[in-house]
Structure 1
Amino acid sequence: MSLAFLLTTLVVVATPGTGVVYTLAAALAHGRRASVVAAFACALGIVPHALATVTGLAALLNASATAFQFLRYAGVAYLLYMAWTTLRDKEAITVEQDTPPRSSAQVIVRGVLVNLLNPKLTIFFFAFLPQFVNPDEPHALPRMLGLSGVFMLLTFVVFALYGVLAASLRSRITARPRVMAWLRRSFAGSFLALGAKLAFTAR
């Protein structure tokens, strides 16, 4: 495994995007455990994209405008839904001791969908992995799977660090109603912006 791969992966993963926004929202809404579960879910959502790349389905998606458009607009619709629910639910980010936390299954499903419905991840893997693996070399398939696993692991670690840091400030932030209203609008706006970016991004 090359140092260039690790550095490139860290830059890509650490750059704030949909997964980071979702993990931070989970951390502030439900605490440290939820943020780690959200980070795991976002990493899990990478699996289909990595498998698509390794099995060659990414090439089909890259060549098929219809397939790409379908996934892209499904992703846009889901991001708009996330923005709407975040803005609508005024109790989405609270520290109520008597309020049961959102189940891990709910957090995981949302987190997986955030990454699953982003076709740019498949295209990214399709363009990213071949730079570090020669398809003609022996054991190319296990190597690509291994590098995909490292990408997922770093995604989980970085996102979890984002979430744990946000969760550590949770009680201070959530005690201020104005800050909470600003955060709710900021998260909703972030999902809207990410959805608009995905909608207007060409293959």
Structure 2
Amino acid sequence: MISLQFLITAFVVVIAPGTGVIYTLALGLGQGRRAALIAALGCTLGIVPHLAAAILGLAAVLHTSALLFQIVKFAGVAYLLWLAYQALKSGGALSVSGDAQRQPAWAIARRGALINILNPKLSIFFLALLPPFLSGNAATASVEMATLGGIFMAMTFAVFVIYGVFAAAARDFLLGSERVMTWLNRSFAGIFTLLAGRLALEKA
């Protein structure tokens, strides 16, 4: 069940920069290591509903229900555009600045969780990723999927933490330049806008 092939596949998926990675990097640069770790945790917890949906078969319902898929998708698009605005806005939740105020842990984690919760492709992704690595025993299928999903989540958290710690370490070198901070904020806003556009074009 837990094969080298699965671990390699999961690692390749996790290490590829996506919305969660960008969010963790933004928090690491903007507020330091603590915020980056909380962001990584929030993004990881946002996987839980999709994993549960895949195990319970609800992902198939989402895949076949065009209306439900579109509702979740455009809620995700709106959320990503809001994050883009928060990166550009002075004092925004994702703004990189030298005098950024420390944000509550629950707020950072909640935003990270919503990034994944509002991505309807994630539950369908688990429905496609996990079954090929199951033993074939129907009696243990749910437990096996939960185990593989747990390993995927652990890898996600570990990789996101590395990204976040790296960003936090670079924070002191970057915050001395107003020009660099402006460039970073515009870059994060642009990336979130592009990710919103890509999500808007996704089909069930």
Question: Percent of aligned positions with the same letter in both sequences?
Answer: 48
Report the Cα distance in structure 2 between the residues aligned to 1:29 and 1:137, rounded to whole angstroms.
47
Q: Alignment length, in residue pairs?
A: 201
Report the Cα distance in structure 2 between the residues aligned to 1:60 and 1:134, rounded to whole angstroms.
24
2:147 is matched with which residue? 146
1:174 is matched with which residue? 175
| RMSD (Å), alpha carbons | 1.3
1:148-178 deviations in whole A, cap 9, x for unaligned? 0001110000001000001001011011111
1:55-90 deviations in whole A, cap 9, x for unaligned? 010010011111111110000000011101211225
Q: CA deviation at 1:131?
A: 1.3
1:43 is matched with which residue? 44
Q: CA deviation at 1:94?
A: 2.3
Report the Cα distance in structure 1 between the residues aligned to 2:174 and 2:48, rounded to whole angstroms.
34
1:68-122 deviations in whole A, cap 9, x for unaligned? 11110000000011101211225621233xx641110110110001111000111
1:105 is matched with which residue? 106
The answer to which of 129-138 and 182-191 deviates more is 129-138
2:191 is matched with which residue? 190
1:159 is matched with which residue? 160
Report the Cα distance in structure 2 between the residues aligned to 1:134 and 1:93, rounded to whole angstroms.
47
Q: CA deviation at 1:138?
A: 3.4
2:97 is matched with which residue? 94
Q: CA deviation at 1:134?
A: 4.8
SS at match of 2:130: helix
Counterpart residue type for residue 94 of structure 1 = S
SS at match of 2:139: coil
- 1:3-152 → structure 2 map (5 Å cutoff): 3-89=4-90, 92-96=95-99, 100-134=101-135, 136-152=137-153
Report the Cα distance in structure 1 between the residues aligned to 2:109 and 2:101, rounded to whole angstroms.
17
Report the Cα distance in structure 2 between the residues aligned to 1:134 and 1:3, rounded to whole angstroms.
14
Report the Cα distance in structure 2 between the residues aligned to 1:137 and 1:46, rounded to whole angstroms.
24
SS at match of 1:102: coil
SS at match of 1:154: helix
The answer to which of 28-37 and 82-91 deviates more is 82-91
Report the Cα distance in structure 1 between the residues aligned to 2:179 and 2:162, rounded to whole angstroms.
26
Q: CA deviation at 1:123?
A: 1.0
Structure 2: segments with no counterpart, 5+ residues: none
